[in-house]
Structure 1
Amino acid sequence: MASRTRTYSKRSAQALRLLGKQVRLARKRRGMSEAALAERVGIARSTLQLIEKGDPKVEIGLVFEAAVLAGVDLFAPEASSLAPQIERIDDKLALLPQSIRKPRGEVKDDF
């Protein structure tokens, strides 16, 4: 069985590269070496290099942790403002159906 190479949309790839570059810029502005940030995150230096290159195969939790420890604002400048945003999304999700199913067939509404 041949393995398939995962492809990503151009927008996803650009977003990953942007976040990686933001991590690198923030790390350098703080005067942190790759080794120092990698140690704080608990990863190998090579994994941090992948994060900074925007590699999509790196676990998202590691990417976010590296970003936060480097000083990158994720979604909001204040960490305390994330909780209200999460609550608003939870409220919206509560109003939607629990599951989404494909329609069984076409609706015949021509009377």
Structure 2
Amino acid sequence: MAKRPVSPTRVASDALTLLGSQIRIGRHAKNWTAADLGDRLGVGPRTVTAIERGAPGTAIGTVLSAASLVGVPLFGATDDELAQLRRRGEERVALLPSREYQPRSTTDSRDDDLDF
């Protein structure tokens, strides 16, 4: 089955562009070429260029790894703060029900049809 492209919302598009710009700035601050960053990520320089342009088709793990490598703080947090936020999120998710059920209608038409 072929992948169906999903268009990002305006906010997501802005966020991708902003993160790409920050990654490019961080890469230049380290005096790395796109090929240098690509080697560290295990991708080609074209993928790095796509990340820096804010292309929505790049895997999110690759984008976040690129940001981390060049020193872009993710979610406005340091590495230690990010680990705390992750643990807190995991604790909250653990409190959620494992399944969500649709509520049953209180006026079920089948009940009206029963004659005893």
Letter in 2 for 1:68: S
Residue segments in structure 1 that go unaligned for 5+ positions in a row: none
Residues 64 and 4 of structure 1, relative CA distance in 2, 3 Å threshold:
closer
SS at match of 1:31: coil
Partner of 1:47: 47
Offset at residue 90 of structure 1 (A): 1.8
Separation of aligned partners in 2, 1:62 and 1:4: 20
Aligned equivalents of 1:22, 1:84: Cα separation in 2? 23
After TM superposition, give the deviation of residue 104 of structure 1 in Å: 3.0
Name the aligned partner's letter for residue 10 of structure 2. Answer: K
Looking at structure 2, the residues matched to 84 and 71 of structure 1 have their Cα atoms a distance apart, in angstroms, of 18
Structure showing greater radius of gyration is 2
TM-score (structure 2 length as normaliser): 0.79
TM-score scaled by structure 1?
A: 0.82
Structure 1 residues 38, 86: CA separation in 2 closer, same or farther (over 3 Å shift)?
Answer: same
1:69-80, aligned counterparts within 5 Å?
A: 69-80=69-80
Which structure is higher in RCO with an 8 Å CA cutoff and minimum separation 6?
1
The CA distance in 1 between the partners of 2:95 and 2:62, in whole Å, is 32
Partner of 2:67: 67
Q: Mark the runs of 5 or more structure 2 residues left unpaired by the alignment.
A: 108-116
Distance 2:75 2:4 in 1: 33
Partner of 1:16: 16
Residue 24 of structure 1 aligns with an amino acid whose one-letter code is R
Give the distance between the partners of 1:10 and 1:76, measured in 2 at CA.
21
Q: Where do 4+ consecutive residues of structure 1 move more than 3 Å? A: 2-5
| Separation in structure 2 between the aligned mates of residue 72 and residue 26 of structure 1, nearest angstrom | 7
Partner of 1:35: 35
Identity across the alignment (%): 36
The CA RMSD over aligned residues, in Å, is: 2.2
The count of residues paired between Structure 1 and Structure 2 equals 107
